[in-house]
């Protein structure tokens, strides 16, 4: 394990836009504890949830050094439309794989 986040927010084990939360940032060298408050994001609940969880993924993968940097990058990606383009690409790939599986299954039967 290179890095993991252990999260508690509003009784959930994920970052919730409904209230403040606590995060343990675990690496092989240390465990750091910090808090977050989605009120500081000043967006809608769904957008906040997406940004918070994307920010956590960016932090864990080492793309950013802090959750705040992750929030900033995730929000910029969301507002630029790049996040939606990426989602559309994943949906397209998933649909093509499903189609190929169905065609392959039909041919082998």
Which residue(s) pair with 55 in the sheet?
none
88: containing domain: 3-108
Q: Provide the CATH number for the domain around residue 55.
A: 3.40.1030.10
Q: Could you read off the pLDDT tens digit of each residue along the chain, which spans 109 residues?
A: 789 999 998 888 888 877 889 999 999 999 999 998 877 766 677 778 888 889 999 999 999 999 999 999 999 998 898 888 887 898 889 888 888 777 666 666 6
Give CA–CA dist 100/29, Å, rounded.
Answer: 45
Count of domains for the chain: 1
Which residue(s) pair with 33 in the sheet?
24
Whole-Å CA distances, 102 to 91, 95, 96, 107? 16, 11, 10, 9
């Amino acid at each position: 394990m290179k890095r993991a986040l252990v999260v508690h927010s509003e009784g959930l084990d994920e970052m919730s836009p409904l209230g403040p939360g606590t995060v343990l940032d675990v690496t092989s060298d240390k465990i750091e504890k910090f808090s977050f408050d989605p009120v500081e994001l000043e967006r809608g609940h769904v957008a906040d949830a997406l940004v918070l969880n994307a920010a956590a993924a960016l932090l864990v993968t080492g793309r950013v050094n802090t959750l705040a940097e992750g929030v900033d990058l995730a929000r910029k990606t969301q507002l630029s439309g790049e996040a939606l383009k990426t989602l559309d690409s994943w949906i397209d790939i998933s649909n093509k794989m499903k189609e190929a599986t169905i065609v392959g299954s039909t041919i082998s039967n």
